[in-house]
Amino acid sequence: MSNQPASNQTVPDRPGADEYPLDPPGRQPAAEIAAAWRRELPDLPTGSIEVITPLWRVAKILADDRRRTLAALGVDASTLDLLSVIRRAGPPYELTTREITARTLVTAGAVSQRIARAEESGLVERAPSAASRRAVGVRLTAAGHALIEGAVGRLLEHEDDLISSLDEAERTALSALLTRLENALTGR
């Protein structure tokens, strides 16, 4: 896959009803699923169904959409993650491999592989780190800057459109609830 955005491709619009409908024919709403389990197994707790089932469905829709969007932008998710972490660090747009590992959700081995692929594509370069004599710094190249800034801009505009049915107060409330749930789950 090319690491440069394809100029003749556009970011896909929202999935059409024929692609990824929220309630395709035959798919039961979560409330109906919970009611059926309460009827069939009344001693089991079913409250999670009406929270987890829609979250799982939305997560799948968003993951599928992001894969299609990144393919249209000419970048894969792991390269986007690596370049984003370095770009968000600010000038001089350099992090050590240890810092990259700490800021991502992947292992040091996976970070090393990502760096090697990005370096081979001319998106990053390695050099002795300014932070430590023993560390290796990973810095964005001009091509890396161009790719990440173009891809992130288009991706964020597209994903903002995906949540446009929520007003600002709903987005804030949903963000707070999801953060609270994520913190509770990662704290286990």
In this prediction the pTM is 0.74
Q: Could you give the C-alpha distances from 20 to 16, 55, 59, 63, 73, in angstroms and in order? A: 7, 15, 12, 11, 20
In a domain, 9, yes or no: no
Q: Taking 50 as the threshold, does the pLDDT of residue 5 lie above it?
A: no
Q: Let me know: does 143 contact 93? Beta carbons within 8 Å.
A: no
DSSP 11: -
| Banded pLDDT at 13 (limits 50, 70, 90) | low
- Residue 85 structural domain: 77-146
Q: Taking 90 as the threshold, does the pLDDT of residue 65 lie above it?
A: yes
pLDDT tens column, 139-166: 999 999 999 999 999 999 999 999 999 9
pLDDT score recorded for residue 12: 52
DSSP 91: T
Within this chain, do residues 57 and 39 fall inside the same structural domain, yes or no?
yes
Q: What average pLDDT is seen over the chain?
A: 87
| Banded pLDDT at 105 (limits 50, 70, 90) | confident
Q: Taking 90 as the threshold, does the pLDDT of residue 127 lie above it?
A: no
Q: Which whole number is the average pLDDT over 49-55?
A: 94
Structural domains counted in the chain: 2
Phi, psi at 176, each rounded to 5°: -65, -45
pLDDT tens column, 37-46: 999 999 999 9
Q: Taking 50 as the threshold, does the pLDDT of residue 15 lie above it?
A: no
Q: Which whole number is the average pLDDT over 119-148?
A: 90
In a domain, 33, yes or no: yes
Within this chain, do residues 124 and 87 fall inside the same structural domain, yes or no?
yes
Residue 92's CATH number: 1.10.10.10
pLDDT score recorded for residue 188: 73
